[in-house]
Amino acid sequence: MFSLKEKVVYPGHGVAQIDRIVEKNIGGCVTKFFELTVLSTHMTVLVPIDNLKETGIRRISSNENIENMFKLLEEPINKKTDAAMANWSKKNKAYQCAIRTGDLEEVCRIYRELTSIAIQKDLSFGEKNILSKTENLLVEEISIATHTKEEEARGRLRATTRRIKISCNVI
């Protein structure tokens, strides 16, 4: 169970803080909700406490998980995966579904894939938006998990991306 003022990952939106517990009468039943404030947008969301697992809300990753994420980013890219980008509509839908899971590894894979594609060609408007979104989601979580400023987290993420580019050009 989560506690008040704890920071959690709200899938697709990033890091949020649990501000309070709210009780609402819905259809004659009293339901308890966590009131979350998404840190990047200051959006407030009510999430039923009984449905936390279904919504995908999770704790901030550990330092170990963050380091594993950076190792994943440095793995060579499968060129066959990149060639499958021909149908943008299907790939976009898959990206959006993966982002909504809130899974750190999935978001990381999308970021790595789009970064790799950007080496080979100019990204479309939609690809740029998803790349930016995944980068922001990763930066927020890295920053909170490692107790660093977002600029430092973004710098480390982009430095890792530069290493990906070098290894992709060699393959």
For residue 84, what pLDDT is reported? 47
Q: pLDDT band at residue 165, thresholds of 50, 70 and 90?
A: low
Higher pLDDT, 86 or 16: 16
For residue 120, what pLDDT is reported? 84
Distance CA 5, CA 17 (A): 6
Q: Does the domain made of 7-59 have the CATH classification 2.40.10.170?
A: yes
CATH hierarchy code of domain 63-170: 1.20.58.1290
For residue 166, what pLDDT is reported? 52
| Extents of the domains making up the chain | 7-59, 63-170
Question: What confidence tens digit (pLDDT) does each residue in 18-66 have?
Answer: 999 999 998 899 999 999 999 999 999 999 999 888 999 999 999 999 9
Looking at residues 129-154, what average pLDDT do you find?
96
